[in-house]
Structure 1
Amino acid sequence: MDPYQLSLLRELGDHGSVAATARALGVSPSAVSQSLAALQRKFNTPLTQKRGRIVELTEAGQALAVAAIAVSEAIARAEATVEEFVGGLDRTVHVCAFHSAAVTFFPDLAALEGTEGFPVVECVDEDVDRVSFPALTAAYDIVIGHRMSHTPPWPRERLAVLSLLREPLDVAMHASHRLAGKAELTPSDLEGTTWISTHLGFSPADMLDAVAAAAGEPMRVVHRINDFSTAAAMVSEGDHLALLPRHTVRIPSSQDVVLRPLAGLQTVRHVDMLIRPERVSHRAVSVVIDALRKIAQSHVQNTEDRNERATAPA
């Protein structure tokens, strides 16, 4: 069975149309169609089906696409075996991340450029909703995505999912806010407050809905801002609140913004690396994975150190 044909089936499952698959692979739609037709001729059961303009994999097609991942992994392991003899770093590792993760990780990755034993890295920020992160793995070696604890898990049957952070979301407010004197907040404390939240479909807008349900009344959103740094700056200028990540948002001390944990709810977001399984084996990719993990650990430690200094007796 042709590994290329199998890979096309997998890409079709991720992209949903022949045209999108062709664009992702840099080939013509007719070439994709011909290869898929050749693959279909080897099986008596349909591998694909149309739903409007979207082409979906049948159950048989999905099973074959998962098998294609195993084939790709085996080929990648064979390539990695050879890479060990020649250094394995002579390739560019493509990394994408949502904005606040890009601010957190990309500068430190850039600082490693040119150091011995570190590959060339190309960084791109991608502002997408949660469900769109897995499809980005078609274009990038490492996709840094995030999801809240209450949302569906990543599709581990077709992706390697490596944890970077388990990051609480805290309630951000100006230091003069009436709630700033509390060590932690409960949903009932938030009755009557106004909020800066993300666009619908993006976290933590979904978490604010859970807060509202626990409080027994809707939270009034007055601004929708996806960029956390902008949200923090707006919090510093008014009486509005926002849910902000504890470790990956840099808030200048001049903004006089404080963060308070929210009790009684799971307000944790998972910041993970999503990677096609066969790419994990490549040495250059594994070096960048290790670097990202160390950067994450450093940011968590810095946050803990700041909190200890802030609570230490004078």
Structure 2
Amino acid sequence: MAPPAPEWDLRKLRILRALHQHGTVTATAEALLMAPSAVSQQLSNFARQLGVPLLEAHGRRVRLTDAAHLVLHHADEVFAQLERADADLAALVRGDAGQVRIGAFSTAVAALVVPLVTRLREEAPGLELRVREAEAGEAYDLLAAGEVDLALSLAAHAPTVRDPRFTRVPLLADPLDVALPSAHPLAGAPDLRLADLAADPWIYGADGPWSDITRAACEAAGFRPEQAHTATGWPAILALVGAELGVALVPRMVSAEYTPGSVVVRPLEADRPRRHVIAAVRRGAEQGGGPVARVLAALRAGA
């Protein structure tokens, strides 16, 4: 049968370390604000816990045994590691360290999340951000299941504000611009309105959030768009526009990233269509100064 493992006691290890530093039980007791008898008793107990002698008589004083010196050699590493743990824990409490997993739709990844990762890499290198592309339905399932810590979505496709599981945080109102072929007769027209493009062929997806947004914006402007071509990826949609096959509504977050030279992107000041982007976390995670709250604050500032 194996002998029992030694019982390590950090308080007693500190007393042993202090004795090594100060040289005598009396000086150690004064430094630690303890009675000399208490110092001796604690070290005797520690020797029993470790199963080795730590002190030996040396005239009228005591000195450390070889076992005590061996213990102290490891104690330096123990206390150094504890100092690092203290620093890491303090950073975690401040929100400057830890892991935060983000689920976001594709355009938000490019326009919001990547700049966030770049900025926090400099400001809080102890924070580790994990990014997962996910549309709204999947993102909220992941958030509810604890597989991501923060979800980005369009407000129209997020759970209701009455959902007790999540806290929703508005980030931005992303303007919807119109993408036209550069040779379009209205490419340079002042005060362009959606209604001016009612007779044009339109390009958008067969279904999904962006199809709903395009139809709703056009119907609010007084017409139903004629869908000439179907595409869901922004590079594909803008390539079709550049080939003079139609026009399309494009979020400003997208147009800043993907617009080719054959396409003109015009704001719609009169109609001012927008899509609202929000972040959501599990309820309560936005409070305090933890890593999720830290990332959420940085995301809001960047947005």
Query: What 5-or-longer segments of structure 2 have no aligned partner?
Result: 1-85
Change (3 A) 1:215 1:155: closer
Q: Which residue in 2 is equivalent to 1:270?
A: 276
1:229 touches 1:251 (CA, 8 Å); kept in 2?
no
SS of residue in 2 equivalent to 1:93: strand
SS of residue in 1 equivalent to 2:284: helix
Whether 1:163 and 2:167 are equivalent positions in the alignment is: no
Q: Pick from 85, 90, 101: which aligns with 1:86?
A: 90
TM-score normalised by structure 1 residue count: 0.58
User: Mapping of 1:199-214 within 5 angstroms?
Assistant: 199-203=206-210, 205-214=211-220
SS of residue in 1 equivalent to 2:155: strand
CA drift at 1:173: 0.9
How many Å separate the matches in 2 of 1:100 and 1:221? 22
User: Mapping of 1:1-314 within 5 angstroms?
Assistant: 86-88=90-92, 89-112=96-119, 114-115=121-122, 117-118=124-125, 119-128=127-136, 133-138=139-144, 139-147=147-155, 154-158=160-164, 159-203=166-210, 205-214=211-220, 216-251=222-257, 254-262=260-268, 265=271, 267-281=273-287, 283-296=290-303
2:104 touches 2:134 (CA, 8 Å); kept in 1?
yes
How many Å separate the matches in 1 of 2:260 and 2:206? 27
SS of residue in 1 equivalent to 2:237: helix
Change (3 A) 1:261 1:278: same
Aligned length: 210
How many Å separate the matches in 2 of 1:200 and 1:229? 18
How many Å separate the matches in 1 of 2:279 and 2:252? 19
Q: Which residue in 1 is equivalent to 2:52?
A: none
Query: What 5-or-longer segments of structure 1 have no aligned partner?
Result: 1-81, 297-314
1:93 touches 1:284 (CA, 8 Å); kept in 2?
yes
Change (3 A) 1:216 1:120: closer
SS of residue in 1 equivalent to 2:256: coil
Change (3 A) 1:187 1:253: closer
2:239 touches 2:260 (CA, 8 Å); kept in 1?
no
2:203 touches 2:231 (CA, 8 Å); kept in 1?
yes
Following TM superposition, the consecutive aligned residue runs of length 4 or more in structure 1 with deviations greater than 4 angstroms are: 82-85, 214-217, 251-254, 263-266
Tell me which amino acid in the other structure corresponds to 1:142. Answer: L
Report the RMSD for the aligned CA atoms in angstroms: 3.0
Show CA shifts across 1:152-209 (max 9, x none): 8733442211122111111111221122122333343122211111342312x22332
1:229 touches 1:250 (CA, 8 Å); kept in 2?
no
1:187 touches 1:214 (CA, 8 Å); kept in 2?
no
Q: Which residue in 1 is equivalent to 2:81?
A: none
Change (3 A) 1:208 1:110: closer
Show CA shifts across 1:76-102 (max 9, x none): xxxxxx999632144310001101111
1:177 touches 1:239 (CA, 8 Å); kept in 2?
no
Tell me which amino acid in the other structure corresponds to 1:117. Answer: A
Larger radius of gyration: 2
Change (3 A) 1:132 1:110: closer
SS of residue in 2 equivalent to 1:167: strand
How many Å separate the matches in 2 of 1:123 and 1:260? 31
Show CA shifts across 1:109-128 (max 9, x none): 33246545341010111134
